[in-house]
Structure formats: C-alpha cells, structure tokens
Structure 1
Amino acid sequence: MCVNKNFKFVEIKKENISLNIIFEDSEILIINKPSNFVVHLGYGNMSGTLLNALIFHFKNNSSLPRAGIVHRLDKNTSGLLVVAKTIFTYNYLVNLFKKREIIKEYDVIVIGRIKQSGSINYPIKRNIYRRTIMMIGSGGKKAITNYTVITRFRNYTYVRVQIKTGRMHQIRVHFSSISHPIFGDSTYSKGIKYNLLGYSEKTRKFLCKFSRPSLHSRMLRFIHPITNELQTWTASPPLDMVHLLTLLYCEDMV
C-alpha cells in the first residue's frame, strides 16, 4: 500500500501488531484500541499504527481508502472503533458518520465536581497559535457534547459522554471550556491542577503518575450494513482507568 506524501509515493509497511478484535464478520471489524496506539499515519507516525496492522492482518484492506478506517481515536484514548472490510461498507459507514447516525459513548473522568448532567454546545476550530490542537471559537464547526454524571468524587467527576458531532479533540476541548478538563490531559488543562489534599500517599502517587487523558470509547451503536439490524458493542475501561476509579471510590468511602 502506498500514499502520496509531498508528491512522493511512500510504501506503507505491513506490521504484525496484535489487535484486540471484539467483533468481526465479512463487512466490519470492531476493535478495542489500547492507549498509546496511533490509529492513522501522520507526521512522525509512519509505522506502528493501526493502519500498518490492518494491512498485515487483512490483505483486502490494502485496497480500501485509509485501509478501511472511517473514524479515529486520539493516540492516548482507549476503546472501540469500527473498521470497514469492503468498499461498500466503507462508503456506508462514512455516510452514517456524516448523517450522525452512529452513536458513540465515552467514559470520562474530569477534574472538579460537576453539579449536574448537561450539554456543551460550542464551535470548535484549529488553534490559531498551535496548529496541532483545537480551540473554541467563532467560525469553528458545530460541536455538541452531551454528558451524564455517573459519580461525584471529592475533587473529581466520573461522567458518561455522547457526542453528536465528531470534531478533533472534541470531548477534551469541550470539558476544558467549562473548567473541568479531563484528568491526565496536560494539553487542555488550562493550568487547572489536581487537588491532592486529604488523599493517601498511595492515591497521590497514582494520581501524579497518570499520564494520559482518562478518556475511553465504551460504546458504538449503528445499523449493520448487511443485516440492517441495530447492533451495539461495549468495552469496559482499561486497567489504568479502573484502578483510578477504584482509588477514588475507596478514598471517598473512608
């Protein structure tokens, strides 16, 4: 498989990278992506990506646009994403995303106590000073994030999020905009620091070492392209987020 990069064709390496596939049929793959795993090729990431793995494990995907990848998760976001295995399904899924008919739900831990469930509706555009990140601003694309409070801890909140749009870094930017940045997200923290007062030494150490946004894609739901049945896939948060939630629950019970 080749890509045109700066008018030169670059051969993409096939790499035997293990994938956690939770569902597969003739049309789709549902993959549970770990954190610290890049989805698509980009500057500085021409190997070790999901795309490299797909063209190794699924020969036919080499002929599909983006090797069948129809949406992305950030490098350090864990959880579910769907990959097409045929050109028919690739076009079908792209159309579903455009029509916002794929439901995506996330588990998130944010800094601070959110009083109640709600919605964030601010346009998002590329940051005018740092082109690799995003910001709230006029002229941006419409972005809607709905969230439900699951648990309020002493200094943090566990929320479940559904996004109605799929803008780059949407959840991270939106929660930062309401002064509740995602725990572990140094990029959009806005200088808001963790409150460690009153926690045990064990918990303080874990909180300080947590080095990624605590953001997990827990659910995908859409109508299957062949069966026309509404299907739902879920994946529990990975061990680092489970450990974080367990510590916060235990601290609040003391």
Structure 2
Amino acid sequence: MTIEADRHLVSALITAQQNALLAEVAAVQITKKPEIIGGFFERRIREVIAEALPDGLAVTPGFIVDRRGSRSSHFDLMIVDTSYPYLGSVDIHKYVMVESVLSVMELSTYLDTEKIEEIFKKHNEVRKICRNTFGNRDKIHFYATVAVSSYGKIAMRQKMISNKFLGDIFILKAGTYAQFGRHCWMEKNASEGPSLSPTARRTETPLSDLLAMIAQDMLYARDDTPIASREIGMRMNDYILWGTLPKQNTKGSKTQNPTKRP
C-alpha cells in the first residue's frame, strides 16, 4: 500500500466513524429532548477525542480557574495536562488550573444564530483569559464542533471578522442533505501583510480534519515536542490527507489536497 493510500485510509476510517456518529445523533433526536440529544453528542465527541490523545493529556468538561481564583464559563470539552491537579469537581465537570489547559471546545448538535453568538462569546472569553494570564500569547486554542448547520458561510465569515476569531470551527454536516462539512478559520493573507482573512472551506472529512488539527496543535503546545516546530505541519501531511476522500474510479477525477491552516 502506498503512502498516499495510507493517508486516504486514515481519513476514510475516521469519516466512517463520523457518519456513524451522525446516524446515532439522528436516532437520539426521536426523543425530541434537546438536553438528551445535546448530552449524547457531547459525550460521543469527548470519547472520540480522548481516544486520540497521548498519555498525559485528558478530556473533561468543566471550568477554568485563573490565578486570581476567578472561574470561567462552563466549557463542554477541555484538553488538559494531567500533570496538574484538578481543583475540584461536580459529577464529571472539573475545575482546572489555567496553566493545565491546552484547548477548549464548544459542542452543539445544530448551529443557529443563538449558538453562533455563544461560540464567539466563549472564544472571546478564552482570549481574555490568555491575555490576563500569559500576556500576548494565545496559549489556549479554541475549537467549536457542530453536528449539522445551515448557517451561511458569508454570515459566518462576517462573524469571524467582527470577533477577530483565532480558533477553528468544524461543521460535520453543512446542510440537512449535504455530503460535506466545513472547516472555518482565519488565515494569513500573503498579499495583505499581517492581516487575516476568513475561510470557510468545504471538506468531505471534517471529523478527520478536527482530529488532525488537534494532534498538530497538541504538538505545538508541548514544551518537549519530539518534532521540531517548523516541521510539525509538514509531518502531519505525511500521515493524513485533509479535506477529501478518494474518488470512486471516475475517469479523469483528481484527488485534492487542500492547504491546511498553518
């Protein structure tokens, strides 16, 4: 098997898991209880991400406590360094030291205007926590993951610009009948100097892209990373193909390999 085929295999495997997850969410929707549906989706995403993390990192919902003892809003998912102690817990929800947090994630089964406002509010809160604790360094990365969304990409881009968004939003299914998702982030525009431009890229493999992005960002965050920082993005390209699945023997078809967020 070629390296290219192996990269397709990883994406195809994770995308099969993504499709099974979306089918499970659709089945749970028969309850018509948002708290049950949302709770199920959050639990399943936490399980998927936890399985992909190396020893020393853990996934938990809960609250960030800063050096002044102030508590953050609740986050559906946090990736934390387990060498730091937990400060307390209520059921599965942990109170964690700000220094232990590598990333946070907001989770939702559906993206509407109310939820998008909540996502950007949480993003801005994380940036404020970083400024107050680490100065200008945005040490805690922000993600949002949504099961299904019909939110327009133009409206999304406008929201990203107005909030100076520095995270990543992954939509597993961009529209009720769509066979693709979206990955939204702000990207440096070489022609405009240091400015950032909003991107809402169509992707056939959003869950695969999310896990690859987390792996990449966790390597960047480590003080003892086994890979030189300048090589991390290139090395991730060796292991997984982003954005597309292999074409089904269609004459003249081409496999895409979109450029990732740096």
TM-score (norm 2): 0.27
Question: Whose helix fraction is larger, Structure 1's or Structure 2's?
Answer: 2
